[in-house]
Amino acid sequence: MIRLTIVLLFLIITPCTVSAQGAWQKRDILHLMNKSAQWQMQQPSKYPVLDWHEGTWYAGLTALYETTRDSRYYRYLCNMASTHDWQGMPDIYDADRLMVVQTYLDLFQLEPDSQRMLYSKWVLDAHVGRRPKADVRFIDNPYRREWWSWCDALFMAPPAFAKYYRLTGDEKYLDYLTEHWRKTSEYLYAQPENLFYRDDRFLDARSPNGAKVFWSRGNGWVLAAIARICSELPTDFKGRPRFEKQFVEMAASIRACQGADGLWRASLLDYDAFPEPECSSTALFCYAFAWGVRTGLLDADTYLPVVKKAWAGLSSHVNAEGRLGFVQPPGIEPKAFSEENWESYGTGAFLLAGCEILRLLDGPELRETYGKGVLLYENKLADTTDVRGWVMEGPGKLSFKNDWMEMYAEQQQWHHVLWCPKTFPDSFIAEWEVQNLYREAGLLIAFFAAAGRAGEDLFDSSLPPREGTFKYYTKDQINSYHISYYANNPKNPAREFAHLRKNSGFALVQTGAEGIPKQSPAVHRIKLVKDQSRIYFFIDDRKIIDWTDAGTTGGPALGGGKIGFRQMQWSHFRYRNFRVWSLVHQNRTQHGT
C-alpha cells in the first residue's frame, strides 16, 4: 500500500513538474496566451465595455496583437472602439475612464487616423488644463474620484499621458503625470514597507492577524504602471529616476512576499488571512518583474527566478478552455474568493505578462551587456546654433520648432545627408529621438563609421564631392556601415524591414526586423551600438539589428568614423537629443535558461 501510494503521488506530481518546465518555452507561452485570449473574446462583458475592467483586458490584447500580428485581435479591438465612436464614459476626470484611452492611443499608433485621436486628446487636454489643487484624500472628499486618490488609479490614468507624450513630443503631459503621481505617492506610499495603501481608509487598518493591510492587486497596479510609463519615457527625462527608484524599492518588498508556488496572496503581509492564490496581482507582478529584468533595472540573477515561478504558477491555473482562475473580483481590499472566479482584467494582466516574457526571451538587452562610459558628444538639435559645423550634402533643409530639428527637401527635390562633424571611435553608444512628419513616403538611414577608403577624414579635400546621390556614399571613395530604419519607398512599398549594409560596395549583411512602422506618428527612441566589429540597433528598446562583422565581406571590420543622417527626397522627419557615449562592458546575463 505504501509503495502504491508513492507511485500514485509520483504520477500526480510529475505532470505538474513537466508543465512548469515546459511553460517557459516560447511556443508554450504563446499557445497559452492565444488560448486564454480566444476564450476571453467569447465571454460577454460583465461590466461597461469602456470601464477599467475591460480596458485592462484591451491592454493585454493589444500587447498580444503587437506580439503576434494576429488580425483577429486587431479586428476585435477596432470593432470595440468604432462601435463606441472612439469615445469613453462621461465622467472624464475619473482615472478609471482613461484605461480605454490607452488602447485608443495604441491603436492610433498602429494606424494613424484623426478619428482615433480626437476624443483622447480632448480628455487629456481637459486634465492638463485644470487649475484646482489636487486633493488626494479619499475619506470625506466629494471630489475623490477626480484625482488619483486610490492606488489603482495610477495604472488607469498616468500611462495614457505617457503614451500621448510619445505621440506628440509635448512634455506638458509628462509634467502633469509626474506632478500628480508625486502627490499620490507622498500620501499613500508607506515606508519602510515600500508598499502602497489602497487609499487613506487603510492607513490605520489591520488584517485579521494584526498586520498592516497592503492589498496585493493594488500594489500590482502600481508596479505595472511604472513599467508601462517608463516604456514611453525618454531615458533622460528628468522625472524618470524617481519612477525607477520607486520601482526597485517596491520590487524588493513584493519579491519577499512571493509564495512557494510562485503566486501572491490578496494580503501581502498576512497570507494566512486569505490563503488562496491571487492571479491578477501575480500577473501584474510577473509583467513588471519581467520588464525590469529585460531593461536591466532589476538584477536578473535575483529576479528571473521570481518571474519563472510566477509564470509557472499562473500557467497552472489556466484551465483546458483557457480561463485563468483564482482572480479576486473587483474590490478595494483583500477578500476571500475561489478558483472559479475569473475576470477580464485578470486575462489582460496575464497577456501583458506573457508578452513581456517573450520579449525577455528574445535575448539579453543592451544594458545587461554594455554600459555608457564617458559622454563623447551631446547635441539637443534645438536651434540653428546647435548645428554649426554640421555638413549638409544635397538639397536638404533644416528648420527648428519647439526644440526639434526638422529635415526635409523643399519640393521633395532630392536626397540629402546631414553629417555630425565629430569623429567617433570604433566603439560607442549613440542615441537620438526621431518622429515622422510625412507618412506618405520616405526612407531614413543612419551612416556610421564613415571615413575615406584609405582612412582619410570624411571631409578630406582629396575625396570627391558628394551631393546626396546614393552611389557616392555606397560604391565610391568612402567606407561606412548604414542602417535603413524607416522604409516607405513608393517604388518598393512592400519593404518594411531594416537593412544593414557595409560600404563601399553596398553589401547587404543583415536584414533585420521591421523598422519604424510606415504610418507611425510616434516619437521613437533610437539606439545604435558599435562594439568594434559588433553592431546593435534598437528602436524603442526593440532590437532590430544584431550582427558581427567577421571581415569576410568587404574587407576587415570598419573602425572609427563619422555619423550622418540620410533621408530620401520625400522624407520629412524631426530629430532631437543626439548623444554619443564611449562603451564599457558589463557582465552578461542570459535570460533563456
Domain assignments of the chain as residue spans, ordered by start: 20-362, 370-585
* Best CA proximity match to 543, nearest among 579, 521, 566, 512: 512
Q: Tell me which of 61-65, 217-221, 329-333, 362-366 is least confident.
A: 362-366
* Best CA proximity match to 159, nearest among 96, 204, 117, 114: 96
Residues classed as catalytic? 152
Give residue-wise pLDDT tens across range 520-578: 999 999 999 999 999 999 999 888 999 999 999 999 999 999 999 999 999 999 999 99
Mean pLDDT computed over 373-384: 96
Supply the pLDDT for residue 23.
73
Mean pLDDT computed over 124-142: 95
Quote the CA–CA distance of 157 and 311 in Å, as a whole number. Answer: 27
Range list of H helices, 362-475 = 366-369, 471-474
Distance from chain centroid for Cα 422: 31
Give the three-state DSSP class for 29: helix
For residue 2, is pLDDT > 60? no
Confidence of residue 363 (pLDDT cuts 50, 70, 90): low
| Cα torsion through 558, 559, 564, 569, rounded to 10 | -10
Supply the pLDDT for residue 493.
65
Confidence of residue 172 (pLDDT cuts 50, 70, 90): very high
Question: Which residues face 451 on adjacent strands?
Answer: 479
Domain 370-585 -> CATH class: mainly beta
Supply the pLDDT for residue 592.
47
* Best CA proximity match to 127, nearest among 148, 152, 108: 148
Rg (CA), the chain: 26
For residue 241, is pLDDT > 60? yes
231 in Cβ contact with 430 (< 8 Å): no
> Beta-carbon neighbour count of residue 236 at 10 Å?
12
Quote the CA–CA distance of 253 and 251 in Å, as a whole number. Answer: 5
Query: Average per-residue pLDDT in the chain?
Result: 92
Distance from chain centroid for Cα 62: 13
The DSSP annotation for 520-564 comes to --SEEEEEEEEETTEEEEEETTEEEEEEE--S-SSSSPP-SBEEE
Quote the CA–CA distance of 512 and 494 in Å, as a whole number. Answer: 15
Give residue-wise pLDDT tens across range 449-481: 999 999 999 999 999 999 999 999 999 999 999
What CATH topology corresponds to 20-362?
Answer: Glycosyltransferase (1.50.10)
Give residue-wise pLDDT tens across range 475-500: 999 999 999 999 997 776 666 789 99
Quote the CA–CA distance of 126 and 118 in Å, as a whole number. Answer: 12
Rounded to two decimals, what is the model's pTM? 0.81
Spell out the residues 6+ positions from residue 10 whose beta carbon is closer than 8 angstroms to its own.
Answer: none
Quote the CA–CA distance of 440 and 133 in Å, as a whole number. Answer: 44
Confidence of residue 115 (pLDDT cuts 50, 70, 90): confident
Give residue-wise pLDDT tens across range 90-105: 999 999 999 999 999 9
Quote the CA–CA distance of 160 and 120 in Å, as a whole number. Answer: 9
For residue 234, whether the previous peptide bond is cis, meaning omega lies within 30 degrees of 0, is: no
% pLDDT > 70, the chain: 93
Quote the CA–CA distance of 577 and 216 in Å, as a whole number. Answer: 39
Give residue-wise pLDDT tens across range 395-426: 999 999 999 999 999 999 999 999 999 999 99
458 in Cβ contact with 450 (< 8 Å): yes
Quote the CA–CA distance of 25 and 508 in Å, as a whole number. Answer: 32
CA angle 36/37/41 to nearest 5° reads 120
